[in-house]
Structure 1
Amino acid sequence: MILRDKKIAIIGAGPVGLTMAVLLQQKGADVTVYERDRNAETRVWGGTLDLHQASGQKAMAKVGLLERYYAMARPMGINIADEHGNVLFTKNITPENQYDNPEINRNHLREILLDELAVNTVVWDRNFTGMEEYKGQWLLHFENQPDSIADLVIGANGGMSKVRKYVTETQIEETGTFIIQGDIPQPEINCPEFYQWCDGKRPMVAYQGNLLVANPYNNGALTYGVIFKKPDEWTSGNIPDFQNKDQVVQFLLERFSKWDNCYQQLFRSTSFFVGLPTRIIPLDKPWKKDRILPVTLIGDAAHVMPPFAGQGVNTGLMDAVILSDNLTGGTFETIEDAIADYEQKMFIYAKEAQIQSDKNEIEMCDPGFSFTKFIR
C-alpha cells in the first residue's frame, strides 16, 4: 500500500474529515485528525444535515454506519407557507420516502463517526496556522500548541481553510446572497407559537426575494435561516453587528414587517445569531502541480458552495470515498498519482454541484420564487 509507513494528517474533524479518517483507518493507515474545537463535546453550530442516497448515504454505508445514521436521523415533512402564516402545501413522511434524506444533528453525526475511530485519533484544541517542509515531511503549526509532522496532509477544515493556499491560488468569492442563521433553545418554551405552528415539520417561506427555512428539531433547539440578496448599503460597512442580538432582531423586524406575527415572535425569541455571506471557490483553474509534498483538499476546503442545492456535505463525503479508495486500493503507484486522479474526478462532479447551487440561488432570490416548485 502506498501509505505504508506514512503519517497522514487530516485538518478538520467535520463530517468529511472524520469520514476520511475512518475509511483510511479501516484500511490500516496511520492517520491523525487535528481539530480546533476544544473537545468532542463542543457544540457544532449550524443547521441539521441531510445525507442524500446517491452520495452521503453511500459514504455512510461504506464506513458501515448507514443503519446508525438512520437510527439517529429524523425524517421530516415540509410545510410550504406564505408570509401570512398560511400553509400552502405539505409534504408528509411516508414509508416510501422516509430514507430519502433524513436530517441529523451535526454533533450526532460527529459522535457516530468518532465511535468508529481508535482512541486519540483526533487531537483536539489544534487550530492549524500553517505548515512547511522539514526533512522530507510536512511540519504542521498550531496556535499555542506543539508542532506535528506528516507525510500527507488532507485539508478538511471548511470554506476558509488555511491548507488551501498550498494547493491553489484561487481565492474564495462571495456570491451576493446573505444568510442570517438563528438559534432558539427549548423552542416549546421560548417560542411556543412558532414551534407549534411548525407541527413537527420544516417550514419554508418565500416572499418578495426573502426566504425563511426552519427546523424545530435540532438537538433540543429550533434553528432557522433567513436568506436574501445582500443589500447594497452593506458594501459601505453599514451592516448589523451580529454580536448584538437586539440590533439583528430590529433589522429582521423591519425587513419582515409585512410578515405575520408568528415570524416576528421567532425573531424576538432568538438567542444567538450568525451572519453568513454565501461563498464559492471557483473550480475553473487547475490546482498547483508543483507541490512540495503530498497535500490535497476535501469538502468545503476544496469546493465550498452556497447551500441552495444541499450538495455541500454530500459532495464532500464523495470526496472522502474516492480519495480513500485511491490511497488504499492498490491501483496507484504513488500518493501523488492517487491525489491527481481524485482531483480530476472531483473537479467534474463538484463543479456540477456548484452549477446546480448557483442556478437554485438565482431562482430562490427572485421576488416571484415559490418553494412549491422545488418540493412537489
Structure 2
Amino acid sequence: MTTSVTIVGAGLGGLTLARVLHVHGIPAAVYEAEPSPASRAQGGLLDIHDYNGQLAVEAAGLTAEFRSLVLEGRQELRLLARDGTVLFKQPDDGNGGRPEVHRGELRQMLIDSLPEGTVHWGHKVSGVRALGGGYEVAFANGSKVTADLLVGADGAWSKVRPLLSSAKPEYTGTGFVETFLYDSDRRFPAAAEAVGGGMLLALAPGHGITAHRERNGTLHAYVGLVRPLEWFDSIDFGDPAAATARIAAEYEGWSTALTALITESDTAPVFRPHYGLPIGHQWERVPGVTLVGDAAHLAPPNGEGANLAMLDGAELGNALAAHPDDVEAALAEYEQAMFPRGAETAAEGAHLQQQMFGPDAPQGLVAEFVAGT
C-alpha cells in the first residue's frame, strides 16, 4: 500500500490503528490536540476483554507488553445496596477474561510501539474539508495537511464526522461526578472494604456509585445521578466544597462507607456528562474517509468503549493491509463489520444503564449477574 494514512486523534483507537499499520509496513501520521502524552490524566482502569480489546492487542503484536500492565486481582466485582449490604460478589479467581489495566499506561504502551515522530502533538483540528480527491485538515496552530486517506479517531466531538454524517451527540440524561480517595486502606478503611479488591457498583433508582481499586489503595469513583443538564449546570464546580455538598445531599441516607467516596475525595469533583450518538449510527460510503471509536459509535459508559475503539483500529488496519491496492474495498469491509458491532454494543449499553439507574435498580442487575454465573 503506497497511500499514507492520516489519523486525527491519539486515543486508543487511533494509536491501535497506527500500530497495526506499522506492523504491516504502512505509513501513518497521527495528529493530536494535546501538547504531549503527559499533558493530562488519562482516566482510570479499563477492563480489556478477550473478545475485542485483547484481539486488538494481539493484532498489534503487543500481548507481552499488555500482560505486564495488568493489575492482578482487579476483576473482583461487588454489587451493593444503598445501605452497604452486599447483594452480589464475584471473586477474581484468575480465570476471568477482562483483566484491568490503567488507561494511561495502555496508551503509553501504544505510543512507545510507534516510530518516533508518528504522533504530532499540539495539533488541535480547527476544520476539515474535502479538497480535490482528498481532504485538507487545518489546525489551530495555523498549519495544514492534506490527506488521501483520512481517519477520524477524534472522539465524541469529532471534527471528521461531518464529512460522513450530520449526527451529533446528545445528552443521555445521566452524569457522573469523578472523585479520588488516596491511601484508602489506612485513611478510609470502611470505604476500602466496601469497594473490595476490584470494582464496586452501589445502586438505587436514579443513583449509582461505581468505584475501582487502583494502585496503592487509590479508590477512583464515579458518582452517578439521573438529572437534566440544567440541574448539573446549577452546581458551581469551581467551588469544590459546595459542589461536593450538593452531590452528597443526593445520597442522604446511604451508608457512610459509600458516601465517603463523595465527601472525602482528595481531588475536586469533576463533572462527566454522558452523551451518545443514535444507536445504529452509520453512513453511506464516502471515498477516502472513515471513523473509529467514539467518533463512530459514541455511547454512555458500558465497559466496551475502549475495547471497541481498539478493535476498530485493529480491524481497519488489517483491512487496509489485506487490500493494499483497493482502499475503498478495505474501508467498505471495515465499516460493514463495524456498524452492526457498534449498534449491538450500544443497545446492550442502553439496557445496562436502565438496569443500573432505572426503577428496578439494583435488583434487576443482581438477577442478571446471578443468571450469568
Give the TM-score normalised by the residue count of structure 1: 0.89
The aligned counterpart of 1:47 is 44
Question: Contact (CA 8 Å) 1:83, 1:206: kept in 2 or not?
Answer: yes
Q: CA deviation at 1:359?
A: 1.4
Q: Deviations over 1:105-152 (max 9, x none)?
A: 111101211121111111111111212344644322111252223221
Equivalence for 1:281: 277
Q: Are residues 1:335 and 2:334 paired?
A: no
5 Å matches for 1:1-376? 1=1, 4=2, 6-74=3-71, 75-76=73-74, 77-97=76-96, 100-134=97-131, 136-188=133-185, 191-217=188-214, 221-231=218-228, 234-235=229-230, 239-270=234-265, 271-284=267-280, 286-289=282-285, 291=286, 294-308=288-302, 310-330=303-323, 333-370=325-362, 371-376=365-370
Letter in 2 for 1:274: V
Work out the CA distance in 1 between the residues paired with 2:205 and 2:322: 51
Shift of 1:190: 5.9
Relative distance call for 1:375 and 1:236 in structure 2 (3 A) is closer
The change in CA–CA distance for 1:219 and 1:374 in structure 2 (over 3 A counts) is: farther
Identity score, percent: 28
Q: CA deviation at 1:248?
A: 2.1
The 1-side partners of 2:196 and 2:340 are apart by: 40
Secondary structure of the residue that 1:272 maps to in structure 2?
coil
TM-score by length of 2: 0.89
Runs of 4+ off more than 6 Å: none
Tell me: CA distance 1:101–1:14, structure 2 relative to 1, closer, same or farther (3 Å).
same
CA RMSD of aligned residues (A): 2.3
Deviations 1:138-167 (A, max 9, x none): 322111252223221111111111111111
After superposition, the C-alpha distances for 1:272-321 in whole angstroms (9 at most, x for unaligned) are: 323233222125565244x4x5111000010001113x221222222112
Mapped to 2, the partners of 1:276 and 1:163 lie a distance apart of: 23
| Distance across 2 between alignment mates of 1:198 and 1:348 | 35
Residue 189 to residue 240, structure 1, CA distance change in 2 (3 Å): farther
- In 1, Cα distance between equivalents of 2:133 and 2:204: 57
Q: 1:235 to 1:198 in 2, by over 3 A?
A: closer
Q: Aligned AA for 2:94?
A: P
Distance 2:252 2:281 in 1: 44
Distance 2:150 2:215 in 1: 33
Q: Distance in 1 between matches of 2:125 and 2:116?
A: 21
Secondary structure of 1:287's partner? coil
Number of aligned positions between the proteins = 365
Q: In the alignment, is the contact (CA less than 8 A) between 2:322 and 2:330 conserved in 1?
A: no
Distance apart, 1:269 and its partner CA: 2.2
Q: Do the aligned residues in 2 keep the contact of 1:44 with 1:106 (CA within 8 Å)?
A: no
Alignment partners' CA distance in 2, 1:359 and 1:208 = 14
Gaps (5+ residues) in structure 2?
none
